[in-house]
């Protein structure tokens, strides 16, 4: 393993990509500690000290602690993810976007451009709502979070938060293009793991103070190890569909005739459904910030606190939906069947063309369903235990799913670079099977 890590720095291109990625992540973490002007950070910390078990605590986890500190990166990358969801959903019903999706690289550039415009709009709306929300906070008599509220504070804070989100989006795109791994996923990943050391220290302090039993802590550790092992096994699980190519004689050479397979992953969509679902769960809290005096809206949001039954049902349903939706976007059985037919390939016992696409679609649906339910259960069930034992969010299913999934995807890309240049990868027997992001 140590030799494999050493090989990373022997390959110039891979070394540059890894160092560039680390540099971008360091910049992101530095920005997460720059406070927004006009906010009393002490009063803000006092207020949020009691808000850890709400959606605020979960949102703060995704932005690496920037929300509780109201830093310039307080909005994180969530507005970009929300814009991506809207564009992709519209792409299945709007003919114009459907045509762009079929135009190759040029179409993808246009869609990316529209996603950026949507990010600016959503970030501005959420930024203004957050500014209104911050003005309404108080940690006690004479301890207002915003000492000098007004339209000037709202506009300046909106501009700061929006600019911070756009900068994070740009950082993520730079990682994807010039670094290693998926930039957006890595930014969320680093925000989560940055809180792990403090979370472990807090748990140790709770144990030493006698507020948490040793059995509870051991149960938590066993649960985390079991969840991680299950995620890795399901993530790497594949269904192999056999494919046969006939022999072709060209001159004196014989081509084809080999038997191969189509590897269908149980979790084709990767961690995207988890991130998308979590982004949608944050939307009601944004509405509350715009209408802080609306009682029925506060009541509605209170049912969506992590650990509640309503939260679990809604969150799990959204995860399953996006698992199927994103799989349909990244994997097209019709195109795959057409390419196989053009090259003379066929699945034994299945007619080429429409029957082949229907067969692949049926198999993909069958393996995606249990995979989607598994990740929905893993994402929801730990929150029930967290609510029961009152432990940190960082040990919840969502955070573990994202951390393990992104780590495997990034490791798979590093593995590909090493193997391509005839170096030993991280696994001597078998290779890490990555997933579509």
Domains in the chain (CATH in brackets) are 32-179 (no CATH), 193-437 (1.10.3370.10)
Residue with tokens 């890795």: 232
Question: pLDDT per residue over 391-419, tens digit each?
Answer: 555 556 677 788 888 888 888 888 877 77
- Highest mean pLDDT, choosing among 160-164, 252-256, 296-300, 371-375: 160-164
Give the whole-angstrom CA distance, residue 287 versus residue 294.
10
Torsion angle of C-alpha atoms 105, 108, 112, 117, degrees rounded to 10 = 120
- Strands 238-244 and 259-265, how do they pair? antiparallel
Cα distances (Å, whole numbers) of residue 394 to 45, 271, 302: 19, 17, 21
Least confident of 263-267, 321-325, 343-347: 343-347
Tokens of 437: 């992001």
Beta bridge partners of 263: 240
Q: What is the pLDDT of residue 237?
A: 86
Q: What is the pLDDT of residue 384?
A: 64
Measure CA 145 to chain center.
31
Mean pLDDT estimate for the chain: 80
Query: Please, what is the angle between helix 309-330 and helix 78-91, to 10°?
Result: 60
Give the whole-angstrom CA distance, residue 1 versus residue 78.
35
Q: At a CB cut-off of 8 Å and minimum separation 6, what does 221 contact? A: none
| Percent of residues, the chain, with pLDDT higher than 70 | 82
Question: pLDDT per residue over 88-104, tens digit each?
Answer: 888 877 888 888 877 77
Q: What is the pLDDT of residue 434?
A: 44
Q: What is the pLDDT of residue 342?
A: 82
Give the whole-angstrom CA distance, residue 233 versus residue 128.
43
Q: What is the pLDDT of residue 273?
A: 86
DSSP letter, residue 247: E
Tokens of 37: 């002007």
Residue with tokens 């890894």: 18
Q: Tell me the pTM.
A: 0.78
């Amino acid at each position: 393993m140590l030799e494999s890590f050493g090989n990373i720095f022997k390959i110039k291109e891979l070394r540059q990509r890894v160092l560039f990625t680390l540099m971008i992540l360091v910049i992101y973490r530095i920005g997460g500690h720059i406070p927004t002007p006009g906010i009393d950070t002490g009063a803000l910390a006092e207020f949020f000290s009691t808000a850890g078990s709400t959606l605020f605590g979960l949102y703060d986890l995704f932005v690496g602690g920037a929300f509780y500190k109201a830093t310039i990166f307080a909005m994180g990358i969530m507005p970009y993810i929300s814009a991506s969801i809207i564009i992709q959903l519209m792409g299945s019903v709007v003919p114009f976007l459907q045509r762009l999706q079929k135009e190759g690289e040029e179409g993808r550039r246009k869609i990316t451009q529209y996603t950026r415009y949507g990010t600016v709009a959503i970030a501005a709306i959420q930024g203004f709502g957050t500014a209104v929300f911050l003005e309404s906070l108080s940690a006690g008599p004479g301890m207002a979070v915003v000492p000098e509220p007004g339209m000037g504070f709202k506009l300046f804070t909106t501009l700061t938060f929006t600019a911070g989100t756009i900068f994070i989006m740009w950082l993520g795109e730079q990682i994807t293009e010039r670094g290693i791994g998926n930039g957006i996923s890595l930014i969320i990943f680093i925000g989560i793991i940055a809180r792990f050391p403090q979370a472990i220290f807090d748990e140790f302090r709770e144990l030493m103070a006698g507020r948490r039993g040793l059995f509870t802590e051991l149960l938590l550790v066993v649960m985390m190890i079991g969840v991680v092992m299950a995620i890795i096994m399901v993530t790497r699980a594949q269904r192999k569909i056999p494919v046969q190519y006939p022999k072709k004689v060209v001159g004196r050479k014989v081509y084809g005739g080999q038997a191969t397979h189509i590897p269908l992953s149980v979790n084709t969509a990767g961690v995207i459904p988890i991130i998308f679902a979590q982004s949608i769960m944050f939307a009601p809290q944004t509405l509350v910030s715009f209408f802080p005096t609306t009682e029925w809206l506060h009541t509605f949001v209170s049912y969506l606190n992590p650990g509640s039954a309503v939260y679990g049902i809604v969150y799990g349903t959204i995860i399953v939906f996006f698992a199927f939706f994103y799989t349909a976007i990244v994997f097209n059985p019709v195109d795959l069947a057409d390419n196989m037919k053009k090259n003379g390939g066929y699945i034994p016992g299945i007619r080429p063309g429409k029957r082949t696409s229907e067969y692949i679609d049926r198999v993909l649906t069958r393996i995606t369903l249990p995979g989607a339910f598994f990740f929905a259960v893993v994402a929801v069930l730990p929150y029930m235990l967290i609510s029961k034992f009152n432990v940190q969010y960082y040990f919840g299913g969502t955070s573990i799913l994202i951390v393990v999934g992104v780590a495997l995807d990034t490791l798979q890309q590093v593995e590909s670079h090493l193997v391509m240049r005839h170096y030993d990868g991280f696994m001597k027997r078998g290779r890490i099977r990555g997933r579509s992001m």
